Amino acid sequence: MDYKMIGGDGREYGPIPLNELKNWIREGRIGRETLIARSDVGVWLAASKFSELDPDLRDVYEKNPSLSRHSFEPVGFWPRVGAFLLDNIVMWIAFYAVWSWIGLDFAGEPPKTPVMQTPEDALEFFNTYLPFLAKQWAIYFPMHFLYHVLLNGTFGATLGKMIIGAKIVKLDGDRIGYGRAILRYIGARISDICYIGYLFVAFRDDKRALHDLIASTRVIYKR
């Protein structure tokens, strides 16, 4: 059987035999949460999930207690849902604060909803309301982008994730920086499609969403 691993740089290494993989463990290249794929399994799992690697991992961690800081506990589905909802609350409060300040001058009064008795009435209202909605989006989406990119790039967490004690890191545990925060933000908009990308967290062993896979990141609890 051969093995592959995902390094801290997000790149795939292997296939290699078991004895070489164990050498990488002893060299410190592989920790308990390093993603490993075995040829007969076909899915990526944390190294700690493979019984044949457990003695070597335990030996390395016992000899080097400082390595425990690299043991990343992934944040599960429901805590991330909670953080997501908290972030949305924060964003809408911020948006309406800004909108109440500049919205009337920028977009004017919202169109009144008419009594819609025919499809033509609904279409007319839609054509009237769409320009107003576009102006709201022109304020909301830049705010949304800056909120996520600046906070994640600077602190590794939005306010929602800070509240639940989580942070976003690269696969090796380092901070993601602004470039990767932008890539992750773009990936999250792909995850927004029917929210299918977020469901990855519920079914993957490493609890990574689609946008985590795109940006080579993970969401873990702070130590």
126-172 per-position pLDDT tens digit: 777 788 788 888 999 999 999 999 999 999 999 999 999 999 998 77
- The rounded distance, in Å, linking the Cα atoms of 30 and 216 is 16
Q: Which residues contact 108 (CB under 8 A, 6 or more apart)?
A: 132
CA angle 147, 152, 153 (to 5 degrees): 105
What's the one-letter identity of residue 214? Answer: I
Residue 132 confidence (pLDDT): 79
CA angle 119, 124, 129 (to 5 degrees): 125
Helix (H) or strand (E) holding 99: helix 77-107
pTM score > 0.75 for this model?
Answer: no
> 74 is written with which tokens?
């992934």
The backbone torsions φ and ψ at residue 44, rounded to the nearest 5 degrees and listed phi first, read: -85, 125
Pairing type for strands 166-170 and 2-6 reads: unpaired
pLDDT (tens place) for every residue of the chain, 223 residues total: 899 988 766 678 889 999 999 998 888 788 887 889 999 887 888 888 899 998 988 887 777 765 554 456 789 999 999 999 999 999 999 999 998 888 777 767 766 766 666 776 667 767 777 887 888 889 999 999 999 999 999 999 999 999 999 999 987 778 899 999 999 999 999 999 988 999 999 998 789 999 999 999 999 988 6
> 27 is written with which tokens?
């060299």
Q: Which domains does the chain have, with CATH numbers?
A: 2-70 (3.30.1490), 77-221 (no CATH)
- The rounded distance, in Å, linking the Cα atoms of 90 and 52 is 46
> What is the three-class DSSP state of 24?
helix
Residue 89 confidence (pLDDT): 97
Residue 82 confidence (pLDDT): 96
